[in-house]
Amino acid sequence: MLATVPHEAIHVPSPIERLNELAFNLWFSWNQDALQLFESMDPVKWKSSGHNPVRLLQNLDTPDLQALSQNSAFLERYQQVMSRFDMYMNDPAWYQTNHPQEDFVQIAYFSAEFGFHESLPIYSGGLGILAGDHIKSSSDLGIPLAGIGLLYKKGYFTQKIDASGSQQSELFPYDFNQLPIRPVMQNDQQLTVSIDVPGRTIHLNIWAVTVGRNLVYLLDSDHAANDEEDKTLTSQLYGGNQDTRIAQEIVLGIGGVKTLRALGIYPNVYHINEGHAAFLTLERLKELLHLGLSFHVAVETVRSATVFTTHTPVPAGHDTFSVGMIEHYLGPLFSEIPKHKQSIIALGLDHKSGQFNMTHLAMNTAGLRNGVSKLHGQVSREMFKEFHGHIDASEVPIGSITNGVHLDTWTAPAWKELFDRFLPGTWRAEQSNHHQWAQVEVIPDESIWKVHQQLKEDLVRHARHSLMEQRKRNGESEERIEEVRNYLNPKALTIGFARRFATYKRANLIFNDLYRLRKIINDPDRPVQFIFAGKAHPADYPGQDIIREIYRISQLKEFLGKIVILENYDIHMARYLVQGVDVWLNNPRRPLEASGTSGQKAAMNGVLNFSVLDGWWEEGYNGSNGWAIGTTGAADWAAQEKENTKAIYHLLENEIIPLYYNQGDLPHQWIQRMKRSVQTLSPVYNTHRMVQDYTNLTYLPTAKRARLFVADHYDVATKVADYKQFIRSNWHQVRIISIDDHSDKSTSEVPLDEIAPSTKEITAQIQFGPIWPQDTAVEVIYYEENDESWEQKMILMTPIGELLDQTQSFQATIPSHLIHGPHFSIRVRPISTNFAHSFELSLVTSTLS
C-alpha cells in the first residue's frame, strides 16, 4: 500500500489535530484565513519560521498548543478555516462540472522547478513560479494532474549584497523534516526508485507535496545507498556543470517516469514544461519497445500523449549536450535497446550544430507544442521554421498559450476584500469572465486609493527593514543604519523593477542619462523613487555587474534613499513589490522576453505596467491600461536601446508623472487607469484561464488521441507509423507536372469598356507514384498585403477528372490578377485524420521548391 504521512508526526491536541493536515497542504499559502490562523498561534515564531506552518507547529511548546485547543476564539477561527478547506476539497470543481465524460484523463506535469511559497524554496524564478501557479489553478479547477519535479537540498541560493554592492551567493541545506512535504511510504518504508548511469545505480527518495487537491512528487538523490557525489546530485537548482545538468535532467525525466510507475500512475498526457524534462520520452520509448512495439510505432505512441511548452526565445537558451555525453550518460538505456541507439540520438540531434538539443528531442516526441505568449509563439515558429521544411513560419506547428498568474496567491487580501464587496459572488470561480470585472468601475476611488496607499506603506516598511538588516550584517555604522529610516517616501511616485538580473532584461536602462534622471527624481513638487530587486545567476558575471552598478548609483548623494536595491528577492518580497509600487517597469530587449509574469501580478493589484511591447504586454496593452515603451520595430540592439531610453524618459516626464500628481484630493485620472488595468488584464492573465486553455486546447485532445492510439493493441499507432514510413519512402515520386492558370491575356489588355473578371480558374496535374491522392492536400499559395505585412493565403484545390497512371488533375478559383510564378505557387503535402496538426510530416512538394 502507498501512503503519504508526515515525516515526523507533530503532536497536536485532538480539538485542533487537523492543523497537521492543513500545515502539509499548500492550500494554506493562497488562503488568507488559513495564513492568519497560523500567524495567530504565535506571531513571532510564525515570522521566524519563514511562514512555514510545519516549523511553527514543531516550535510551539505543548502547553501553548494545549492552551490554543481550549481558546474559544481560536477554535472558532480554526473550525471556519477547516470547514472552508473541506468544501474546497470535496465540492465539484470546473473540470468535473464541464467535463464529466472525461474522467479517464490523467495528466503528468514535469518541471525542473516549482515555486509555491517561501516555505518551500525549490524555485529560482519565473519558470518555477509559473509551474507552481499552474498546479494551484489545476487544483482550484479540479484538473486531474500530478506534478513531477526535483527536491533540491539547498534550493537555489540565498543572495546577499555586501557593502560594495557585490552579490554574495550562500547555500544552506534544508531539513526536509521541517518542510511542508511528506515522504511517500510503501510497506512502512519511504518509496524509492533507481536509475542506472554509467558504472553505478542512483537511488532516489520520493516525496510528495500536497497542493490543494493535487500532488506533486519530488525526487531526491540524498539516499544512503548512493555515493557522496550522487547524494549531492539534487543538491542545488541550476548548479554545477554540464555533467550535473545532464544527470539532473536524467533524474527528472527518466526518474520521473519510473516514479509514476512505482505509484501505479499511467498518464495519458505528459506535459514537458521546458526542455529540461524531455528525457521522459526516452524512458517511455524504452517501455514500449520492451512491450514488443517497433521503434516507429513506439515513437508515434509517445507523441500521441505528449505536450511540450517552450519558454525560451533564443537558440542559445536551449539545453544542448555533445553526442558523446549523451552516449555516455544514456549508455545504460542504450544497452537495453542497443539497435535503436542511433534512432534515439537522431530524435534530439541538431544537424546544424551537431549537438543533442533537448528542445529538438521534445519537438520530435510531442504531438502538440506551444510558446507562452502570442509573440513568443511567432518567435518560436520563426526559430524552428527549418525544423519543419519549406513552409511559411505561420504554418509551423507551434501554437501559443499565454502565461498567467494565480490570482488568489498574488492579489493582496485588501484588494480581494474590495472585489468581494463590489464584484459578483462568483468572481473567484469565474475569473476569466470579463463581465464580472466590469464591476470594478463602481468601486469608489476613495476605497481603491486607501487600499493602494496602505499597501505602499507596507512596502516601504518592508524595504526599510530589509535595508537596515543588510547594513547591520555588513557591519556598517549606526549612522548608516539609522538613515534608512528616512528612505523612500510613501507619498512619492514609486516605480518597481524586480526580476532575474539577466543582461537582456536591462535593469540599468533607466540609468542611461543620469543628469535627466536626477532632475526627475529630485523634483520637490513631483518626486519619483525606484525600488530594484533580483538575483543574478552565480555564473552570470555581467548580471552581477548590473547589480553593482545599480547599488553604486543608489549610494550617490542625489539618489540616496530614492533609488534602492533590495537583496534576496523571493516570493515573500515579490508580494510586497507587486502589491505596493505605483508603476511596474519592464524593459527587456524585444523579443527576448518569452512572456514575463511579474507585470501580470502587479496588474491584479492596480499597479500600472510601463513596459516594452514584449511577451504578454504586447497583447495585453490597449492604450489605456498602462504605458508602452518604444515601438515594435525590429531594430538592432543599439537602435532599440536608444529608442527605448528616449521613450522611457519622455513618458515619465510627459505622461506618467503629470498624471500621478494631477491629484487634488485624489488622483482620479490615475485611479481610472488603475481600474482599466484591473478590468482588462485580470480576466485574461490569470492561470485559471491559462489552465483552462491547456485543458481545452492540449490536454483533452491529447488524452483522447493517446487513448485512440493504444486501443486494440496499438492499432492506430501502428497504422499512423506505417503510413508515415510509406509516405517518407515514396514522397520523392510526387511531382507537379503542369500548371495552367488560364491567363490568355493580362488584365491590362482588357478594353476599358469591359470589366476584367475578378477571379479565374486554374488547373494543375500531379503525378503521385504509389501514393494515394486522397492522402494529400493540393493547395494554391499566395500572399496578400495586410497592415504593412504580407499574409499567406491558401486555397485548397479539388480533384477533377479521373486518376490516370497515378496522375490527377486539380482545379481552384483564384483572384484573376495572380500569375503563376511571380504571384502564386502550388504545393502538395501529406495529410491524415490522425495527425495532430497539418504539418506533422514535414514533406512538401512545391512549384517553388
Tell me the pLDDT tens digit for each residue of 143-153: 999 999 999 99
The residue type at 115 = G
Extract the C-alpha cell encoding 238.
541550476
- Whether the per-residue pLDDT at 390 is higher than 90: the answer is no
Chain centre to alpha carbon of residue 567: 24
At 751 the pLDDT is 54
For 468-506, write each residue's pLDDT tens digit: 999 999 999 999 999 999 999 999 999 999 999 999 999
What is the number of residues in the chain? 849
Asked whether the predicted pLDDT for residue 164 surpasses 90, the reply is: yes
Is the pLDDT reported for residue 775 higher than 70? yes
Whether the predicted pLDDT of 748 surpasses 70: no
Kindly state the average pLDDT of the residues 385-413. Answer: 93
- Return the percentage of the chain with pLDDT > 70, whole number: 96
pLDDT tier at 1 (50, 70, 90 boundaries)?
very low
Return d(Cα 209, Cα 217) in angstroms, integer: 6
Superfamily of domain 409-415+445-678: Glycogen Phosphorylase B; (3.40.50.2000)
Residue 732 corresponds to which cell in the numbers above?
A: 520523392
Task: Say if residue 284's pLDDT is above 60.
Answer: yes
**What's residue 745's pLDDT?**
47
pLDDT at 665: 83
C-alpha distances in Å from residue 118, one per residue of 28, 30, 52, 113: 12, 12, 8, 13
Q: Which residues contact 139 (CB under 8 A, 6 or more apart)?
A: 27, 211, 212, 213, 214
pLDDT at 8: 54
The pLDDT tens digits for 672-720 are 999 999 999 999 999 999 999 999 999 999 999 999 999 999 999 999 9
As annotated, the residues of the chain forming the CATH 3.40.50.2000 domain(s) are: 104-171+209-400, 409-415+445-678
Over the range 47-63, which residues count as b (16 or more CB within 10 Å of their CB) and which as e? eebbbbbbbbbbebeee
Instruction: Report the distance separating Cα 720 and Cα 724, nearest Å.
Output: 6
Does residue 514 have a pLDDT over 90? yes
Contact 681, 607 (CB under 8 A): no
What's the average model confidence in pLDDT over 444-451?
97
Backbone φ, ψ for residue 185 (5° rounding)? -105, 145
Give the per-residue pLDDT at 389. 79
631 phi and psi, to 5 degrees?
-115, 180
Residues 6+ apart with CB under 8 A from 580: 455, 456, 457, 458, 459, 460, 462, 494, 496
**The predicted structure's pLDDT at residue 747:** 47
Give yes or no for residue 599 having a pLDDT over 70.
yes
What pLDDT score was predicted for residue 749? Answer: 52
Q: What is the pLDDT of residue 754?
A: 54
pLDDT tens digits along 175-205: 999 999 999 999 999 999 999 999 999 999 9
Predicted TM-score (pTM) above 0.85 = yes
In this predicted structure, what is the pLDDT of residue 790? 84
| pLDDT score of 387 | 86
Segment 446-462 mean pLDDT: 98
* Pairing of β 626-629 and β 563-566: unpaired
Paired sense of beta strands 214-220 and 269-273, if any? unpaired
DSSP-assigned letters across all residues of 795-836: EE-EEEEEEETTEEEEEEEEETT--BTTTEEEEEEE--TT-S
104-171+209-400 has which fold?
A: Rossmann fold (3.40.50)
CATH 2.40.128 is held by the domain 734-846: no
* 8 Å CB contact between 844 and 826: no
> Is the pLDDT at 86 greater than 50, yes or no?
yes
Q: What is the DSSP code string of 34-94?
A: HHHHHHHH-HHHHHHTTS-HHHHHHHS-HHHHHHHHT-HHHHHHHHHHHHHHHHHHHS--H
**pLDDT tier, 6 (very low <50, low <70, confident <90, very high otherwise):** very low
Q: What is the pLDDT, as a whole number, of residue 752?
A: 46
**If you average pLDDT over every residue of the chain, what do you get?**
94
d(Cα 137, Cα 405) in Å, to the nearest integer? 9
Give DSSP secondary structure letters for 394-450. Answer: GGSS-EE----B-HHHHS-HHHHHHHHHHS-TTTTTTTT-HHHHGGGGGS-HHHHHH
Is residue 627 within 8 A of residue 608, CB to CB? The reply is yes
Region(s) of the chain under CATH 2.60.40: 734-846
Is the predicted pLDDT of residue 44 greater than 80, yes or no? Answer: yes
Q: Are 133 and 409 in contact (CB under 8 A)?
A: yes
Confidence of residue 438 (pLDDT cuts 50, 70, 90): very high
Residue 635 has pLDDT above 50, yes or no: yes
**CA-CA-CA-CA torsion for 149, 154, 156, 158, nearest 10 degrees?**
150
Asked if pLDDT for residue 38 goes beyond 50, the answer is yes
Q: What integer is the mean pLDDT of 272-278?
A: 97
